[in-house]
Amino acid sequence: MKIAILGTRGIPNNYGGFEQCAEYLSIGLVKKGHSVTVYSPSFHPFNENFYKGVQITKKSSPQNIFGKSASNFIYDYLCLKDATKKDFDIILQLGLITSALSIIFCKHRGKTIVTNIDGLEWKRSKWNRLVQKLTRLLEKYGVKYSDYLIADNLAIKDYLFKEYNVDSRKIEYGTIPIAKPDISLLQKYNMSKGNYIVTIARLEPENNLEMICDGYINSKIKMPYYIIGNHLTDYGDFLKDKYRGYGIKFLGGIYDKKCLDSIRYYSFCYIHGHSVGGTNPALLEAMAAKAFIIAHKNRFNRSVINDDAFYFNSAFDITKILKRKNLLLHKNKFIDNNCKKIDQLYSWRVVVDKYEQYFLEILNKK
């Protein structure tokens, strides 16, 4: 098969979840004998034509002219316009919203467009009502004009069927096993084994950091709470001002995976507040790192962890969980079950196989 992967900031990954997906998926498919091209923006620092057997095609992303948001629409359009002129069997679009206009208005020229829609972007509370309405409209027509859809989460699959009466293939997001944890990496952050709570997330309202912080403070638990993620934003400043002096430490972004895995592994617990989107990579990484997880109660998180975590819907819930006398009684069982899920459902080996199988099914239909 000849496959194009669009919609990311390119590989090798130096940004986020879909970039990681593009990297592992493309390399995995190349190892299976397929020809794969990943489209990358012109500003990506990798300037070779191939990366581990994957062909790299660069297109302009004029951020300096139009700004970040507008340039993403232009970049996605230029990528799809180019890809439809070439002899790809499958064009995989990772993410829907900024690519929706391209999918709607760009001539497909008989090419097969498969879209992984990611999460429900219009639900993000950082958007005002007008942006939410426009985003939902883009979702609607992006779904309509895609040939096939992929949902990385059962809740997303159910949503697509209920909202638009369309079927989709559920293919989970992947992660990789952690390297041997290194306790010495905690010293830089004054962490001590089993005596701190941690969250790794973008500092945005839908990740429920205020709820978590309030619950942590009210529990009066005798250990610090670390939040890892870029806090040099307006919302980050708000959180730092509100919770100054309460034992909550904002560490900023940490991008060394071995360090992050060690922090998760040695934590007392990992609190996951994400409430919008499909399968969150940070949650899978916490599971793979054998962290004891407390998660926001929503259908996205539950479809991944099932019963192998404690769940919260309010600051009171978090306080109640952290004050449980037998809290750690379930730790080993939860961790063992989550590690089995990672191996059986969320390893890149399994994910690559599922993508290959789905693409072959699509081509057989044609």
DSSP secondary structure string, 57-78?
Answer: EEE---HHHH-HHHHHHHHHHH
List the one residue out of 202, 186, 333 whose CA is nearest residue 261: 186
- At residue 162, does pLDDT exceed 80? yes
For the CA atoms of 182, 187, 191, 192, the dihedral, rounded to the nearest 10 degrees, stands at: 70
Q: Which residues contact 241 (CB under 8 A, 6 or more apart)?
A: none
**236-292 pLDDT, tens digit each:** 999 999 999 999 999 999 988 899 999 999 999 999 999 877 788 899 999 999 999
Percent of the chain with pLDDT over 90: 70
At 354, list the tokens: 């599922």
Q: Is residue 104 very low, low, confident or very high in pLDDT (cuts 50, 70, 90)?
A: confident
pLDDT of residue 179: 81
Q: Is residue 70 very low, low, confident or very high in pLDDT (cuts 50, 70, 90)?
A: low
pTM of the shown model: 0.87
For the CA atoms of 86, 89, 92, 98, the dihedral, rounded to the nearest 10 degrees, stands at: 40
Regarding predicted confidence, which is higher, 142 or 195? Answer: 195
Could you give the CA distance from residue 23 to residue 175 in angstroms, rounded to a whole number?
A: 12
- Cis bond before residue 12 (omega within 30° of 0): yes
One-letter amino acid at 116 equals N
349 backbone dihedrals φ, ψ, rounded to 5°:
-55, -50
Type and span of the H or E element at 31: helix 17-31
- Asked if 152 and 116 touch (Cβ cutoff 8 Å), the reply is yes
Domains of the chain, by residue range, sit at: 2-174+347-365, 183-344
Could you give the CA distance from residue 327 to residue 323 in angstroms, rounded to a whole number?
A: 8
At 145, list the tokens: 């004009």
Mean pLDDT within 188-209: 94
- At residue 2, does pLDDT exceed 90? yes
**143-155 pLDDT, tens digit each:** 999 999 999 989 8
- At residue 294, does pLDDT exceed 90? yes
Percent helix, percent strand, percent coil in the chain, to nearest 5 = 50, 15, 35
Tell me, which fold does domain 2-174+347-365 have in CATH? Answer: Rossmann fold (3.40.50)
Say whether 139 sits in a helix, a strand or coil: helix
Could you give the CA distance from residue 173 to residue 354 in angstroms, rounded to a whole number?
A: 11
Is 183-344 CATH 3.40.50.2300? no
Could you give the CA distance from residue 331 to residue 292 in angstroms, rounded to a whole number?
A: 6
Which of the 8 DSSP states describes residue 35? Answer: E
pLDDT of residue 125: 61
Tell me, yes or no, if the two domains 2-174+347-365 and 183-344 fold the same way: yes
Regarding predicted confidence, which is higher, 275 or 351? Answer: 351
Say if strands 90-94 and 113-116 run parallel, antiparallel, or are unpaired. Answer: parallel
